[in-house]
Amino acid sequence: MTARSSEGPAESPAEGPAEGQAENPAESQAENPAEGSAGRERSGPRRRLSDELAENMKRGWADTERHDIRPLPQAAHTARRRAALSARFPGERLVVPAGNLKVRANDTHYPFRASSEYVHLTGDQTEDGVLVLEPGAEGGHRATIHLLPRSDRDNGEFWLTARGELWNGRRNSLTENERLLGLPALDVRTLAATLAEATGPVRVLRGHDAGIEEALRDKATAETDEELRVFLSEARRVKDDFEIGELRHACAATARGFEDVVRVLDRAEATSERYIEGTFFLRARVEGNDVGYGTIAAAGPHATTLHWVRNDGDVRPGDLLLLDAGVETRTLYTADVTRTLPVSGTFTPLQRKVYDAVYEAQEAGIAAVKPGAVFRDFHDAAQRVLAGKLVEWGLVEGPVERVLELGLQRRWTLHGTGHMLGLDVHDCDRARAEAYVDGALEPGVVLTVEPGLYFQPDDLSVPEEYRGIGVRIEDDLLVTEDGNENLSAALPRRSDEVEAWMARLKT
Ligand code: GLY
Ligand code: MN
Ligand code: MN
């Protein structure tokens, strides 16, 4: 149900309950005609709002202020992250927005997902939220969070506006948010005007809140803002205990989602890849917040399309199913796991040959994930194994050194062997090369190791029997003091273990 189907007219959600609007929206809307601004008839009947009803709606509501709020479990971590941010940019005002709702049509919106930078620094996930670090006269910064307060009952905003709590659910009061987040909380509706008048150097995280950026248009520069983004990206490189716990939870829930899929493979055969996507999604929504990225449910030759998210193909016995999916936790940390499964439960000899090669490459990659190693080492280790297999199978002319030197294996390996993982599936994406691909691994880094081999259906350079086979195996690795821990190890990887696991689940 949407706000516009109500008897009471709804305001534009974009405007929100702005200060200075009519003191009594009930009255101001009372004479609205029965037709919309474009002259079309609205979906529901509109009746004049009587003064009696407007008055009636103001009264008879309980005080629901909560006094039992405890700080978020990650509050100590977010405070430490803000302190690091403060130390990096002394004397500058720093503005990190969560982002706004994006309209899908009229008064419906796409699901909201707060910016990862904002979540990392606050633990909050609310639309329109903004974190501000205000430089202090004595050095350091004072951090404040700016949020929508509770809906006003006196002016009818709670039930007559599209952002009212009656439509969207109860919000925390500012006082509750202060306790929850460990930050002074202020009304976000006055922030843009305050920022527009403020003086002194300022940086804003761009791309999330056009209103805030507009307020800072003549004050912030793209170049200095980018330095803020890079810093915030690199700050997420080493995960703390809270984050590692969340990533463990994401991987455990993801493993259960993969098990769900194996149990319904016969039903997926009767429908399509969509059944697999939907099955995994159910697990993601029940145990987590969402999927961390669009599920890739790629059966048969679709497995050779790296980001196959259309998921509208058939699932046939005899095919391989490449399932790349991750549960995002309620705190927004995601897993990113791939298994390539024989739909029938048993690999054909050629499927097994390709699968085992990818498995061997992944083993070599995982062995190269340890403190002191450079990020790109595990990629090189996996590529070397795959190049060797391609030479051995006569698909490319050796020796292996020549193949690697010229990168010839990449026709079939296609992508990098992994990436950082955390709040974003491709986490720390703005980090500089020296902090990422050329940087040394250290305990607390979490990354994927995901080699693959993909023989396109139209690749005339390989024998016909290879065409249409795509295999990727992807796991989520935590770098530890003495090597690594595979956070997604609950899902078997070796071909015989995959078959045994599938047989167990299907009985
Ligand atoms: N699921 C996207 C990736 O593996 O990077
Ligand atoms: Mn990945
Ligand atoms: Mn993936």
Q: Are residues 383 and 477 in the same domain?
A: yes
Torsion of CA 17, 21, 26, 27, to 10 degrees: 180
- CA 438 to chain centroid, in Å, comes to 25
Looking up residue 187, the CATH number of its domain turns out to be 3.40.350.10
Does residue 450's CB lie within 6 angstroms of at least one atom of ligand 1?
A: yes
Task: Note whether 257 and 121 are same-domain residues.
Answer: no
Query: Are β-strands 93-97 and 202-204 bridged in parallel, bridged antiparallel, or unpaired?
Result: parallel
Give domain status of residue 144, yes or no.
Answer: yes
HEC string of 215-268 equals HCCCCCCHHHHHHHHHHHHHCCCECCHHHHHHHHHHHHHHHHHHHHHHHCHHHH
What's at 180, amino acid-wise?
L
111 alpha carbon, distance to own chain's centre? 12
- Of 291, 336, 379, 449, the one to substitute when testing ligand 1's pocket (max ligand atoms within 8 A of C-beta) is 336
Task: Domain of residue 40: give its range.
Answer: 9-55
Tell me which of 207, 234, 261 is where a domain ends: 234
Residues 94 and 46 in one domain: no
Q: Which tokens belong to 422?
A: 């955390």
pLDDT digits (tens, 9 = 90+) for 430-485: 999 999 999 999 999 999 999 999 999 999 999 999 999 999 999 999 999 999 99
Question: How far away, in angstroms, is 82 Cα from ligand 3 center?
Answer: 30
Whether 66 maps to a domain, the answer reads no
Establish whether residue 475 lines the binding site of ligand 1, counting it when its CB lies within 6 angstroms of any ligand atom: no
- On whether the CB atoms of residues 227 and 310 are closer than 8 A, the answer is no
For residue 120, tell me if it sits in a domain.
yes
Q: Which ligand is nearest to the CA of 421?
A: 2
Is 425 near ligand 1, meaning CB less than 6 Å away? yes
SS3 content of the chain, % helix, strand, coil (to 5): 40, 15, 45
Atom of ligand 1 nearest to the CA of 415: 5
Cβ–ligand 1 contact at 424 (below 6 Å): no
Separation of CA 107 and ligand 1 centre (Å): 32
Print pLDDT tens along the chain (507 aa).
433 333 333 333 333 333 333 333 333 333 332 323 333 333 445 678 999 999 999 999 999 999 999 999 999 999 999 999 999 999 999 999 999 999 999 889 999 999 999 999 999 999 999 999 999 988 899 999 999 999 989 999 999 988 899 999 999 999 999 999 999 999 999 999 999 999 999 999 999 999 999 999 999 999 999 999 999 999 999 999 999 999 999 999 999 999 999 999 999 888 899 999 999 999 999 999 999 999 999 999 999 999 999 999 999 999 999 999 999 999 999 999 999 999 999 999 999 999 999 999 999 999 999 999 999 999 999 999 999 999 999 999 999 999 999 999 999 999 999 999 999 999 999 999 999 999 999 999 999 999 999 999 999 999 999 999 999 999 999 999 999 999 999 999 999 999 999 999 988
d(CA 214, CA 250): 37
How do beta strands 103-105 and 470-472 pair? unpaired
In a shared domain, residues 309 and 210: no
Is 332 inside a domain boundary? Answer: yes
Q: Is the domain of 79 the same as that of 190? A: yes
* Residue 253's CATH number: 3.90.230.10
106 and 22, same structural domain? no
Q: Are residues 380 and 297 in the same domain?
A: yes
Q: Are residues 133 and 173 in the same domain?
A: yes
Spatial strand order in the sheet of 475-480? 446-449, 475-480, 483-486
Q: Is residue 64 part of a domain?
A: no
- How many Cβ atoms from other residues are within 10 Å of residue 413's Cβ? 22
pTM for the full predicted model: 0.91
Residues 135 and 263 in one domain: no
* Tally of CB atoms within 10 A around 268: 23
Considering every ligand atom shown, identify the ligand nearest to the alpha carbon of residue 446 and give its number. 2
In a domain, 245, yes or no: yes
Q: Answer whether 324 contacts ligand 1 (Cβ < 6 A).
A: yes
Amino acid type, 341:
L
Bridge partner residues of 452 (DSSP): 472
Do residues 362 and 383 make contact, with C-beta atoms less than 8 angstroms apart?
no
- Regarding whether 477 and 332 lie in a shared domain, the answer is yes
Cα end-to-end span (Å), the chain: 42
Residue 368 and residue 500 in one domain: yes
Kindly state whether residue 65 falls inside one of the protein's structural domains: no
Judge whether 487 lies within some domain.
yes
Shared domain check, 414 and 348: yes
Nearest to 473 by CA among 343, 341, 342, 327: 341
The alpha carbon of 180 and the centre of ligand 3 are apart by a number of angstroms equal to: 33
Q: How many domains in the chain?
A: 3
Q: Is 363 in the pocket of ligand 1 (CB under 6 A)?
A: no
